[in-house]
Amino acid sequence: MSTDLSPHEQYQNPLITRYASPEMSRIWSAQTKHSTWRRLWVALAESEAELGLDISPAQINQLRENTENVDFAAAAKYEKELRHDVMAHVHAYRDLCPDAGGIIHLGATSCFVTDNSELIQIRDALTLIRSRLVAAIHHLANVATEYRDLPCLGFTHLQPAQPTTVGKRATLWCYDLVLDLEEIENRLATIRFRGVKGTTGTQATFLQLFNGDHKKVDQLDQLVSEKMGFNRRFAVTGQTYSRKFDSQVLDVLSGIAQSAHKMGTDMRLLQNRKELEEPFEKKQIGSSAMAYKRNPMRSERMCALTRFAMSLVSNASQTMATQWMERTLDDSANRRLSLPLSFLAIDASLIIYKNIVDGLVVYPKVIEKNLLAELPFMATEEFLMAGVSNGGDRQELHEVIRVHSQEAAKQVKEFGLENDLIARLKQDNHFAEVDLESALDARKYIGRAPEQVDAFISDVIEPIRLKYKHDLDFGNDDLRV
C-alpha cells in the first residue's frame, strides 16, 4: 500500500487548519524548533570560545550562516538510522558545516537543545497569549462602559435575582481575564532557562572541558542563557528542567480556558433569552434543516476549545509526578502534544472571544421586557415600606403582598399569562395611597453597578491600557473565527 498520501488522505489537526493563528502555529513549528536548536548550538560554541576553548570564528560563522537552512529530509533519513532525533539533526547540521562539525553540541546533552528550545517557545507563546488577552480585556471593557447603566435581570442559581446592569456583568467577565493576565505576567517575569547543565544536571562534562575550572562552567551557563534572552536560570536541574514548570504553565492556560468558557456559557444562555447576540454573518446558516436558526456557534466553539485545553492540565501534573530521579523519557511524546496543543487551543479561543465582543449585539427592549416580567416581585419590599410609611401595619401588609404574589405567580406558571401583581395591588385598599408605578423604575434596584463599572475601568483597566497600549487592538486582522 502506498504511503504517498495527499493532505486530504491524512488526519490534519483542526487547531492548525481551522482555529489557531498562523503566529501561534509558527512558534510550535518544526522550522522554529530546529532553527532554535541551531541557535543554541551557535550560542554554546560562541560562549565556549569566549571562555578559551579552541573554537575558531570561522567555525562559529559557518554554524551561524546555516541556522535557518534545515534539511528536514536529511534529518529524517539520519533519524531512521540512528533512532535519535537530536543526533539526527546534529548530523544534518554537520553536513552543512563541515569545518564546524566536530564542535557542534560540544559537551552538551540532548536536553540542552530540547528543553531550552521549548522554554523559548513557551516564552514566545505566552507573550502572544498576553497580547490576545490584553486586546480582549480592552474591547470587553468598552462594552462595560457603553452599557454601564443599562439595567438587566440578575441571576443567582440561574433564578431571577436582584437587577444588575449589562455593563456590570461585562466587568465580571473582564475581571476574570485580568486575573489571568496577572498570572501570565508572573510566569513571564519568573521564567527561567535550563541553560548548560549537562547529562544529569551536574555539569560534569563541562567541568572536564574546562579542566576543572568551576567558575568558567558557571560563566558558560550564564553566557548561553543571556545570549538566548534569559536573565534567570533554573538553580538546579536533573537532565531536564523541572516539569513542575510545565504544570504551572498549563495551569495558567487552563485559567484562561475557565474564564472564556464561563463567558461563552453565559453568552449561550443570554442568547437563548434573546438579550444578547454574538455576530451572525449575512449568509451564515444556523442549521441545515431549520432555516430560521441562529445558533450561538462562536460561543459554542469557544466552550469546546477551552474544555479541551482544561483537559490537558492533568497531562502536565501527571507527567511532573512520574518523573523518576533525574528524568525518564515518558514525558517526551506527551509533551510534544500537550504543550503546543494547549497554546494553540487558547490562542484560538481568545481569537473567538474578541470576535464575539467586537460584534456583540445588545437588545435593550428584550432586556427590559424580561426584567419587567420579574421586577414586580423584586419591588415588593419597596411596596411594603411605602405602605408602612402611609400608616399600614407591617405584618398585615406583608401577608397581603404574599397572597397577591402567590396568585400572580400562579397566573404566570399555570396559565402562561403576564405578571399581574401590580394590577392586583392597585385594586387592594391597603395600597391605595402607594405610588406603585414609580417603584418599577429598574434603576432603583441596580445599586452602585454603574459606579462600580466606572471604578473598575479607572482603577483596573486604564493601567492595563497604558502598560500595553500597543496590544489594545491586537488581532484585528484575524479571520479564523
Residues with a known catalytic role: 157, 287
164 forms bridges with which residues in the sheet?
152
Cell of 215: 567558575
Task: Tell which residue, 136, 161, 140, 141, has the closest CA to residue 151.
Answer: 161
Determine the Cα–Cα distance for residues 462 and 468; give it in Å rounded to an integer.
10
Q: 289 — phi, psi (to 5°)?
A: -105, -45
Task: Tell which residue, 454, 478, 467, 411, has the closest CA to residue 184.
Answer: 467
Task: Tell which residue, 319, 336, 182, 190, has the closest CA to residue 255.
Answer: 182
Determine the Cα–Cα distance for residues 401 and 354; give it in Å rounded to an integer.
46
From residue 407, alpha-carbon distances to 206, 340, 352, 413, 419 in Å are: 85, 58, 45, 10, 9
Q: Are 312 and 304 in contact (CB under 8 A)?
A: no
211-214-216 Cα angle (round to 5): 80
Determine the Cα–Cα distance for residues 236 and 11; give it in Å rounded to an integer.
40
For the chain, the straight-line distance linking the first and the last C-alpha, in angstroms and rounded, comes to 38
Task: Tell which residue, 298, 263, 472, 267, has the closest CA to residue 362.
Answer: 267
Helix (H) or strand (E) holding 268: helix 244-272
Q: Which residues contact 34 (CB under 8 A, 6 or more apart)?
A: 70, 72, 75, 89
Taking each helix axis from N to C end, the angle separating 110-146 and 166-190, rounded to the nearest 10 degrees, works out to: 160
- Give the 3-state secondary structure of residue 323: coil
- Give the 3-state secondary structure of residue 202: coil
Cell of 352: 473567538
CB atoms within 10 A of CB 132: 26
Determine the Cα–Cα distance for residues 256 and 342; give it in Å rounded to an integer.
11
> Which residue, chain included where needed, has cell 511524546?
333
List the alpha helices (DSSP H) in 359-458.
364-378, 380-389, 394-415, 421-426, 449-456
- Give the 3-state secondary structure of residue 162: strand
